[in-house]
Amino acid sequence: MDINQEALISELTFKAVRSSGSGGQHVNKVATKVELFFDVVASKVLEEDEKQRVLHALSNRVNKGQVLVLYSDDSRSQFKNKRLVIQKFLNMIEEALAVQKERVPTKIPKGVKKKRLQDKRKQSEKKSFRKPPDLY
């Protein structure tokens, strides 16, 4: 799928919140963690079938209001985190919109079936020789 990334990014909403983790006192006063919100249903860039595909593929990241929520707190920089979360979002959308090729089941060749049956027969024979003889 070829989607307009700039138009998609313009539909995103961001929120900066305080991050957890290392950073000492700095982490308690600076909002570096970036949360991304994308309202899938209200999107004007995606078509209806694409919206359904995104909702299905990313169902574990979509909340009840059908808003996709992602976040990034990898960096201590809010700017870097915003760039990272946008890249993560674009990758996820691209993956969700990719149409999987339908798998065509292959037939098992006759030669393979024949060999398997011969091997079974040979194994059965081998084991039958281990039994004590029938005297009655």
Classify domain 5-97 at the CATH topology level: Double Stranded RNA Binding Domain (3.30.160)
Q: pLDDT digits over 4-15, tens only? A: 788 888 888 888
H or E element at residue 13: strand 13-17
Q: pLDDT digits over 30-78, tens only? A: 788 889 999 988 888 888 988 898 888 888 888 888 888 988 888 888 8
**Residue 23: pLDDT band with limits 50, 70, 90:** low
Euclidean distance between CA atoms 30 and 19, whole angstroms: 8
Mean pLDDT, the chain, rounded, equals: 86
Euclidean distance between CA atoms 109 and 113, whole angstroms: 7
Among the residue ranges 22-26, 39-43, 127-131, the one predicted with the least confidence is 22-26
For a pLDDT cut of 90, what percent of the chain falls above it? 29
Cβ of 91: how many Cβ atoms within 10 Å?
A: 10
For the cut 90, the answer to whether the pLDDT of residue 100 exceeds it is no
For the cut 80, the answer to whether the pLDDT of residue 2 exceeds it is no
